[in-house]
Amino acid sequence: MLRILLLIILLTHIQVHAKEIYVLCAMGMRKPAEEVAKLYRKETGQRIYLSFASSGRLAMQMILGAPADAFISASSFWTNKLIQKGLIKGYTKLATTDMVVVTSKSSKAEDLTDICNLERVTVGNPKLAPFGKYAMESIENLGLKSCLKGKIIYANNVAQATAWTITGSTDAAFIYYSDFLAFKNELKIISHIPNNSHSKILFTAGWVTPSGKAFVKFLCFPQNRKIFERWGFELVCR
């Protein structure tokens, strides 16, 4: 009942006419975004079309004219860039999560001290994927830069880094804890990266249209908190 009342209040203040809403969403937010989108359609009748990629790649698509009602980024950097260009009308700080180092279940690596003995370590492309930026900051601040020289492989997004680890195309990867949870039966964590070794991980959600704003506000409904927590996120919404 509370969810219905909140939805009525939201839609009373925001005129929403579109039958479909297009959301460009950072790959790291895929699982909770898909779940909330299904709930939104069930309660409003509006279908959410989600397009996933790295935050930087999605931002570039918007700059080049790709249609979008909302934009979910894995950092405020790309959101602010789009605001500066007048492409986003407003945004909210959505959620945070942690960074972990994972290997396949069969790997002999047990902790972060073993990472220097591996041949291939994957991070995201820091120019496009925020999880790569966080990873490179940690590698620098944890004193791993020297031993990983020549061993780092760059993935386009966190899903690719995760897939490479599962298939053995890389020996280890720096990914979000939320992505580990999606494949916990095939991966193991060898290290929880200290939060003070990198910039704060903060996913943001911006809107372009009233329809997009309505969906962003819906993401922050208290009843959706459990969805985010199940996928390793802490909902902050401010």
- When the pLDDT of each residue in the chain is averaged and rounded to a whole number, the result is 93
Q: Say if residue 150 is in the same domain as residue 211.
A: no
pLDDT at 85: 96
Instruction: Check which CATH number belongs to the domain holding 108 and give it.
Output: 3.40.190.10
The answer to whether residues 123 and 162 belong to one domain is yes
140-173 residue pLDDT tens: 999 999 999 999 999 999 999 999 999 999 999 9
What is the distance between the alpha carbons of residues 170 and 104, in angstroms, rounded to a whole number? 9
Q: Does 205 lie in the same domain as 186?
A: no
Q: Are residues 7 and 51 in the same domain?
A: yes
Cβ atoms within 10 Å of 85's Cβ, excluding its own: 11
Asked if 69 and 18 count as a contact pair (C-beta separation under 8 A), the reply is yes
Is residue 188 domain-shared with residue 116, that is, in the same domain? yes
Q: Determine the straight-line distance between the first and last CA of the chain, rounded to whole angstroms.
A: 24
* CB distance 7 to 224 below 8 Å: no
Please check whether residues 104 and 191 belong to one and the same domain: yes
Q: What angle do CA 138, 144, 147 make, to 5 degrees?
A: 155
Stretch among 10-14, 42-46, 118-122 having the lowest mean pLDDT: 10-14
What pTM does this model have? Answer: 0.88
Q: Which of 86, 91, 68, 74 is nearest to 211 (CA)?
A: 68
Please indicate, yes or no, whether residues 76 and 131 belong to a single structural domain of this protein.
no
- The predicted structure's pLDDT at residue 11: 47
Its domain, for residue 144, covers 99-197
What's the confidence (pLDDT) of residue 8? 43
Please indicate, yes or no, whether residues 126 and 40 belong to a single structural domain of this protein.
no
Looking at the structure, do residues 74 and 61 belong to the same domain, yes or no?
yes
Report the number of distinct structural domains present in the chain. 2
Q: What pLDDT digit, counting tens, does each position of 202-217 carry?
A: 999 999 999 999 999 9
What confidence tens digit (pLDDT) does each residue in 78-105 have?
999 999 999 999 999 999 999 999 999 9
Burial zone of 97 (CB within 10 Å; 0-12 exposed, 13-18 middle, 19+ buried): buried
Q: Is the pLDDT of residue 4 over 80?
A: no
Give me the pLDDT at residue 238, please: 81
pLDDT at 142: 97
